[in-house]
């Protein structure tokens, strides 16, 4: 019978030690470990890895820093938490969309009753939603949108059909869809190729009643172009859980614009994040022990 994989938890997380045991592994010191579960988002803080380590689990879905640092090309299996937090982030995206349609960004700022308030709201039912990046977050959002009867256009890297979407486009054809949707949801990974995915041309192509919803990374949107579009009214508004720069500085124009709703990168509640990450660790330890393909394997060439 094969020995259980020895996994080092790089931090004080008893729940992750239990996840290792539940997955069929054994918590162990770093020296001689088969794998390591990192709790840092900074490559420089990762300890030197002994040759015995053949798998590294990172704590976040975004891995752009690790790819830039070049560490993920060392021949080991590196996995991210991508997909683990999909439902929680999708819930937040849905909340932002509903808040925009119900004009909560406007009503929350008012200090007197307005008789024309009903004319500022609309229903999400039957609306067209463009989801750019139909991975774990995007697919979870499609499920949440089903009761509303929304028509979803999904964009993936290669354009393979996404269940629940009325149409799926490859990334190189996303320009065909900017003008079709009331809500454009950005849920794609941050890579060199997706930096400023949404810029002046894309915002100009959106509908005037359209809202941009970003729950991915701030770098996917050209902030200056977004401010210009919001000021001119070429789009109706923006709902952002992420910004560029981040944290968004005091006094930044996005704080002052009346057609902007900002949440400070809070889409995944801490306890939800802990539970979901422990589940990812447990499953990947099980797969490591069974010799199966790991979940969330990082593709350094693809950038995620």
* Residues recognised as catalytic: 217, 246, 265
- With left for phi above 0 and alpha for psi between -120 and 50, is residue 111 left, alpha or beta? alpha
Quote the strand ranges of the chain, DSSP E: 6-10, 26-27, 35-38, 55-57, 77-79, 128-132, 151-156, 167-170, 183-186, 211-214, 237-240, 260-262
| Best CA proximity match to 159, nearest among 169, 149, 150, 167 | 169
Q: Which two tokens stand for residue 208?
A: 């005037």
Q: Are 16 and 281 in contact (CB under 8 A)?
A: yes
Strand partners, 150: none
Q: What are the residues whose beta carbons fall under 8 Å from the beta carbon of 105, sequence distance 6 or more?
A: 99, 237, 239, 258, 259, 260, 261
Q: Give the residues across from 92 on adjacent strands.
A: none
Please name which of 206, 193, 174, 168 lies closest in space to residue 302, comparing C-alpha atoms: 193
* Local structure of residue 233 (DSSP, 8 states): T
Measured distance CA(195)–CA(288) in Å, rounded: 34
The first and second tokens of residue 87, run together, are: 């439902």
Per DSSP, the three-state class of 151 is strand
């Amino acid at each position: 019978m094969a020995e259980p994989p020895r996994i080092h938890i790089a931090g004080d997380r008893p729940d992750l030690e239990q996840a290792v045991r539940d997955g069929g592994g054994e918590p162990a010191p770093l020296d001689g470990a088969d794998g390591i579960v990192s709790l840092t988002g900074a490559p420089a803080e990762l300890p030197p890895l002994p040759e015995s380590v053949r798998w590294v689990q990172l704590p976040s879905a975004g891995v752009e820093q690790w790819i830039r640092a070049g560490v993920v090309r060392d021949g080991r299996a590196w996995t991210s938490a991508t997909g683990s937090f999909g439902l929680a982030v999708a819930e937040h995206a849905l909340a932002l969309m509903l808040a925009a349609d119900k004009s909560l960004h406007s009503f929350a700022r008012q200090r007197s009753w307005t008789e024309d308030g009903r004319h500022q709201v609309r229903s999400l039912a039957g609306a067209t939603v463009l989801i750019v990046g139909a991975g774990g977050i995007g697919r979870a959002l499609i499920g949440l949108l089903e009761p509303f009867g929304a028509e979803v256009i999904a964009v993936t890297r290669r354009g393979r059909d996404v269940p629940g979407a009325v149409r799926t486009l490859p990334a190189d054809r996303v320009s065909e869809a900017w003008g079709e949707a009331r809500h454009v949801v950005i849920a794609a990974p941050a890579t060199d190729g997706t930096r400023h995915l949404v810029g002046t041309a894309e915002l100009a192509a959106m509908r005037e009643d359209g809202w941009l919803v970003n729950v991915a990374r701030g770098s996917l949107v050209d902030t200056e172009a977004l401010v210009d579009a919001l000021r001119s009214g070429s789009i109706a508004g923006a709902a952002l859980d992420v910004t560029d720069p981040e944290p968004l500085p005091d006094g930044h124009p996005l704080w002052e614009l009346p057609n902007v709703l900002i949440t400070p990168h809070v889409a995944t509640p801490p306890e939800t994040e802990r539970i979901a990450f422990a589940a990812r660790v447990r499953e990947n330890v099980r797969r490591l022990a069974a010799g199966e393909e790991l979940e969330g394997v990082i593709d350094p060439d693809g950038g995620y």
